[in-house]
Copies of this chain bind each other. A is one copy, B any other.
C-alpha cells in the first residue's frame, strides 16, 4: 500500500437508539439525554483501563451510513448555502471519519456507557481518546458561518441529505 493510503480496522461498534440519520440530533450538544454503549471488541478491552477517571472522551468512527461519494462543497444541516466540506462537520468527506465528544457514564469490562451520543446504531468505532481541556479547548474560538445558525443546533435534526 502506498504511503498515502492507510488501512484501519474497527475496534468495536457504537450502539445507539438511532436507526437512521433521519431525526437524529446533529451533534452531541443536542443529545445530552441520549445514552449509547460503546462496545469495544474483547481483543481491545485492556486498552480501556484508566478511562473511567475521565469525565469525557472523544470518539472517532467511520461514517458508515453516508453515501460513498465525497463532496468538496456541501450544504450543511445548519445552513442553506454550500460550504467547503472542511468548514463543516458533514459526513460526506474525502475520508469519512466522524468525531464526537461525549460524556462517560461508566466503563465496565469492554463497554463504555456514554451520554450525548449523535451517531447511528452500529457505527464502526475507530478510536477512543480521553478528552483533555488543556489539549482540546482553545481559550477563545470563532465559528465563522456557524455564528448565525448555531442557536438552532439544540433543536436541529439530521435529514436525508447525506444518505
Contact = CB atoms under 8 A, between A and B. Distances in A.
Interface residues of A, number: 71
Contacts of A72: 44, 46-47
Contacts of A8: 5-8, 95, 97
Interface in A98-115: 99-101, 103
Contacts of A146: 54, 130, 132
Interface in A20-57: 27-29, 40, 44, 46-57
Identical copies in the complex: 2
A80 interface: no
Interface in A126-156: 126-138, 140-147, 150, 153
B134 A153 contact: yes
Majority-rule SS of A interface residues: mixed
A58 B3 CA distance: 22
A9 interface: yes
Nearest to A74: B47
A11 interface: yes
A142 B60 contact: no
26 contacts: A5-B8, A6-B8, A7-B8, A27-B134, A47-B86, A48-B87, A49-B73, A49-B84, A51-B87, A53-B87, A53-B145, A53-B147, A54-B141, A54-B142, A55-B140, A56-B141, A60-B99, A86-B128, A89-B135, A97-B127, A99-B99, A130-B143, A132-B150, A134-B143, A134-B150, A134-B153
